[in-house]
């Protein structure tokens, strides 16, 4: 202990005390992504018993690309769900942005990088539009974005024409979901992830030390790094093996993985360590308290919607890369799965609680249901029923745990 404090900071004490504290928090209802992780393990075990193909290397890699689009969209939605709002138009926003992209690149011969930038600008503009009506005019986000959900579908039809379908002709976009990094690059990616985690850990510890407050035992940092090394190592090792069914080798970590990880890391940094992130949680927890504390809640809400729509466009890029084309219904059906992924992962629909990693884990749960049931050859109706059931279950867990932690239901 560096300061003679009688009021602790939660960082004091041995590893054993830290672990006890952690379980205490779990019991008080603050379970985060644990239920989703549990569901993920149960479902994987179940599906690997039911279908021998489920555990193959090829399907393992497929899971990553299947989850990637959903994960990006769910992470986008976290920014608005955190402030107690919703964006039902996030999917079609990505569709409109990609429609603009294909028109620019395929029809007008614009450079693909400019195309991507313009698509992102479309996202920013739509987010600004929603944000204006929700934050300034105070129209409920449910209504604004439901209106846009319909309106933007119309815009897609206008842009691409009824039944219009454009192939993605940019190899760089196609390779995001369809190509893999060379095996050595997968290991480099893991080493970078470890180095960044270690660097951030050290940085935090040094800053706490400089401020004169207690640090958790360093062993906990090493345990976390060890977990990343082992978990990440297993994943990279599997993905680096040849998973082809024909003679042409397919191996390596899909290119989308480092892109998604980088966005996850930057987003988490913003939410945890910047004032904007803190303000999002405050507005989600109690907007009136945030306002009285001098936070410009209108701007916070506006930026939340801009961030959501912009990240939604990234999910649109992933989707277009995977399918290889953009049509007039792009992004229409995915948004509820995105909300489901976030909620299943432990992001509270009441606002103020949740992390990007929760949404990412939730996306894997939804993707695994999709993947597993698909392999079992069940009719797609069953898939919808199961996914819907899981969403209601997760929302119930959210509501109940909110009561347990003493939060009021609004």
Name the site residues for other proteins (rule: CB under 8 A).
3, 5-11, 28, 30, 207-213, 273-275, 278, 281-282, 284-286, 288-295, 351-353, 405-408
Q: For residue 113, give the 3-state DSSP assignment.
A: helix
Nearer to other proteins, 37 or 213 (CB): 213
Between CA 267 and CA 174 the distance in angstroms is 24
Nearer to other proteins, 213 or 395 (CB): 213
Nearer to other proteins (CB atom), residue 331 or residue 354? 354
What residue ranges in 83-170 does DSSP mark as E strands?
A: 165-167
Residue with smaller CB distance to other proteins, 210 or 248: 210
> CB-wise, 136 or 273, nearer to other proteins?
273
Six token digits for residue 339: 């909300």
Choose between 278 and 332: whose C-beta lies nearer to other proteins. 278
**Between 291 and 332, CB nearer to other proteins:** 291
Other beta carbons within 10 angstroms of residue 361's beta carbon come to 25
Residue 22 beta carbon to other proteins: minimum distance, rounded to whole angstroms: 13
Counting every residue written for the chain, the total comes to 410
* Close Cβ partners of 376 (under 8 Å, ≥ 6 residues apart): 47, 50, 51
Cβ neighbours of residue 88 closer than 8 Å, sequence gap 6 or more = 142, 145, 146, 148, 149, 335
Pinpoint the alpha helices (H) of 274-350. Answer: 275-285, 287-292, 297-323, 335-344
Min dist. Cβ of residue 231 to other proteins (A): 27
Query: Smallest distance from the beta carbon of 117 to other proteins, in angstroms?
Result: 25
Spatial contact of 18 and 215, defined as CB atoms under 8 Å apart: no
Q: How far is the CB of 346 from other proteins (least distance, A)?
A: 13
**Minimum CB distance to other proteins, residue 282 (Å):** 5
- Smallest distance from other proteins to CB 208, Å: 4
Distance of closest approach, residue 270 Cβ to other proteins, in angstroms: 10
Maximum Cα–Cα distance across the chain: 71
Using CB atoms within 10 Å of the CB of residue 329, give its burial: 0 to 12 exposed, 13 to 18 middle, 19+ buried.
Answer: middle
């Amino acid at each position: 202990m560096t300061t003679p404090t009688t009021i602790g900071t939660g960082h004091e004490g041995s590893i054993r005390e830290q672990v006890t504290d952690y379980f205490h928090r779990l019991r008080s209802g603050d379970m985060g992504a644990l239920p989703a992780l549990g569901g993920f393990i149960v479902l994987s075990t179940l599906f690997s018993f039911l279908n021998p193909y489920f555990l193959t290397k090829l399907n393992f890699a497929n899971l990553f690309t299947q989850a990637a689009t959903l994960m990006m969209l769910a992470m986008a939605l976290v920014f608005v769900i955190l402030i107690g709002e919703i964006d039902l138009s996030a999917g079609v926003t990505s569709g409109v942005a990609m429609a603009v992209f294909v028109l620019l690149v395929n029809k007008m011969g614009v450079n693909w990088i400019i195309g991507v930038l313009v698509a992102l600008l479309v996202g920013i503009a739509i987010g600004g539009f929603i944000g204006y009506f929700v934050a300034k005019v105070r129209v409920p986000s449910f209504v604004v974005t439901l209106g846009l959900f319909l309106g933007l579908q119309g815009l897609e039809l206008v842009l691409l024409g009824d039944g219009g379908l454009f192939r993605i002709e940019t190899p760089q976009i196609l390779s995001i979901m369809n190509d893999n990094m060379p095996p050595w690059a997968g290991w480099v990616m893991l080493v970078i992830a470890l180095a960044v985690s270690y660097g951030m850990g050290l940085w935090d510890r040094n800053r706490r030390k400089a401020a004169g407050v207690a640090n958790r035992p360093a062993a906990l940092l090493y345990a976390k790094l060890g977990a990343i090394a082992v978990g990440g190592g297993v994943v990279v090792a599997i993905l680096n093996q040849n998973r082809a069914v024909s003679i042409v080798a397919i191996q390596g970590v899909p290119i989308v993985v480092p892109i998604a990880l980088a966005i996850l890391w930057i987003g988490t940094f913003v939410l945890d360590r910047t004032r904007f992130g803190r303000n999002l949680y405050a507005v989600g927890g109690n907007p009136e308290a945030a306002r009285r504390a001098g936070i410009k809640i209108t701007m916070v809400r506006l930026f939340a919607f801009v961030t959501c729509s912009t990240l939604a466009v990234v999910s649109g890029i992933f989707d277009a890369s995977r399918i290889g084309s953009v049509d007039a219904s792009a992004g229409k059906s995915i948004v509820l799965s995105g909300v489901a992924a976030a909620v299943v992962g432990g992001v509270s629909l009441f606002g103020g609680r949740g992390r990007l990693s929760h949404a990412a884990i939730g996306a894997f749960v939804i993707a695994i249901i999709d993947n597993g049931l698909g392999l079992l050859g069940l009719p797609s109706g069953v898939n919808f029923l199961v996914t819907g059931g899981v969403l209601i279950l997760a929302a119930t867990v959210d509501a109940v745990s909110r009561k347990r932690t003493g939060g009021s239901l609004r």
